[in-house]
Structure 1
Amino acid sequence: MQNNKRDQYYPHPQPTEPGAPAFLWALVGLMAAIELPLTLSDAGWIGFDSWRMNVFLYGAFWPPLLREGLAPLYTGQKALMFLSHALLHGSFAHFAMNSVVLLALGKGIATVLGTGRTLLLLSLSAVAGAAAFGLLSSASGPMIGASGAVFGLLGLWQAWDYRRRRNLGASLQPVMSGIAGLIVVNVVLFFALSGALAWEAHLGGWIVGWTAAWAFARR
């Protein structure tokens, strides 16, 4: 059988699940189990309208806990919030948007990396997103959402495409255009949302994804 350079970077298709793997659905299910009651409480159908803020107090990423030395509400909050913030969202639409991208990109990436390395990528991207937000943002309010982890998937996907194209001698323009597109989208959303966009978390997650393509997530 001929084994040329193109075969090395376009591996033969492997059998895959018809949809996203179960562990990604479980992750989305966990986020849904948190968001749905909060959405219902916001609408006044159950509980109290303070539910969301109370959950944020315990699970969101709070920069003042690190910068201003505020006392945490429980032991380990300063460390746990680097991950727990990724399970919380500001609205059902926010949750749905992140979940759709997580399932769509995560399916293909998990096929290559498997469960363990995909979860490692998501975790490191979430942590890096929180760290970047803490370092670069002057905000004192909470930061929430899985977008840091989602941008880790985006960064890895673009890095894979970059490496493949470079090794084949193909044009890198589509990759550069994709990166530029992400920047433009973040700028537009930042102004559209009056600054209520944690672009710093997106950047931190994306950097981890891009870097992982040369480390534990080599394709």
Structure 2
Amino acid sequence: MNTPPHNGPINPMPPYIVALFLVLVGIEAVLSLADRGIIGGAMGVGWRMSALEEYGFSPRVFWWMFENGIFPPEHLKRFVSYAFVHGTFTHALFAGVFVLALGKMVGEAFGAIATLAVFLVATVCGAVIYAVFVGGDRLLFGAYPGAYGLIGAFTYVLWLRLGQMGEAQVRAFSLIGMLLGIQLVFAVLFSGPKDWVADIGGFVAGFLLSFAVSPGGWTKILNKLRQRSD
């Protein structure tokens, strides 16, 4: 039986994207209430800093693990856990909006497992790129590298559609170009942190991973490899 079309004013949101959004916002809600002393009392004021130190991604710790060949679980978790802790309520809100908007569009094209894979792989790759090209002691935190991975997947979808229509595929990169342009301007004018490097890493990871995890992706790759070998 065919699923009847949705005629409501708002298109349904994939439940796994809603769940991801609620986790992000739920953690931030607790930290925001603690910042204001509403929960946790006097100790609650320090919850955010403690969470950042415990779950934020540290380039220094990354290089320590790499150089010593030691990878304890309490530090490996940082490759993912940093995405769920933010600096402020606004920081978390914008990340959540990105996840909702892009997650819905990518989810409709890719499905649940592939969409979540893009978010997680982009999160990990963003952290690695940040450690390699930025380094230092400043912690990386927030869901933006994962959200930019979803932007990369969405760009892949646009890139394919423009190619099928015979139009210039470079237009698919207009969104990421605009977002990175804004970030670079703010970084230059206000000497802000270089978190945008992790965002670029997340975007590239999301775009490249889409070639494999999109519907029929592996089949397309194998066909191209066979054509080259013939």
- State the TM-score, normalizing by the size of structure 2: 0.80
Match of 1:29 in 2: 22
1:65 pairs with 2:61? yes
Q: Deviations over 1:152-201 (max 9, x none)?
A: 11111112212221232212353243343133122023235532240111
Distance 1:77 1:168 in 2: 48
Cα pair 1:212 1:218 within 8 Å, conserved: no
Match of 2:98 in 1: 101
Q: C-alpha displacement at 1:216, in angstroms?
A: 1.2
Cα pair 1:148 1:202 within 8 Å, conserved: yes
SS of equivalent to 1:144: coil
Q: C-alpha displacement at 1:123, in angstroms?
A: 0.6
Q: C-alpha displacement at 1:19, in angstroms?
A: 2.8
Distance 1:193 1:45 in 2: 33
Distance 2:37 2:190 in 1: 25
Q: Deviations over 1:40-78 (max 9, x none)?
A: 22223332321111111211101111224699xx94122
Aligned residues: 205
SS of equivalent to 2:212: coil
1:145 pairs with 2:142? yes
Which structure shows the higher helix fraction? Answer: 2
CA separation of 1:44/1:194 partners in 2, compared to 1, >3 Å: closer, same or farther?
A: farther
Question: Deviation above 4 Å: which 4+ runs of structure 1?
Answer: 14-17, 68-71
Aligned alpha-carbon RMSD (Å): 2.5
For 1:116, which of 105, 113, 116 is the aligned residue? 113
SS of equivalent to 2:112: helix
Cα pair 1:129 1:202 within 8 Å, conserved: yes
CA separation of 1:23/1:87 partners in 2, compared to 1, >3 Å: closer, same or farther?
A: same
Distance 2:174 2:106 in 1: 21
Q: C-alpha displacement at 1:34, in angstroms?
A: 1.4
For 1:174, which of 171, 174, 177 is the aligned residue? 171
1:39 pairs with 2:32? yes
- Aligned counterparts, 1:125-204, within 5 A: 125-191=122-188, 194-204=191-201
Match of 2:49 in 1: 53
Cα pair 2:25 2:96 within 8 Å, conserved: no
Q: C-alpha displacement at 1:99, in angstroms?
A: 0.6
Match of 1:8 in 2: none
Distance 1:202 1:150 in 2: 8
Q: Structure 2 stretches of 5 or more lacking a match?
A: 217-230
CA separation of 1:144/1:170 partners in 2, compared to 1, >3 Å: closer, same or farther?
A: same
Distance 2:133 2:162 in 1: 32
Match of 1:3 in 2: none
- Percent identity of paired positions between Structure 1 and Structure 2: 27
Q: Deviations over 1:77-103 (max 9, x none)?
A: 221100001111111101110111111
Distance 2:204 2:197 in 1: 11
Cα pair 2:145 2:198 within 8 Å, conserved: yes
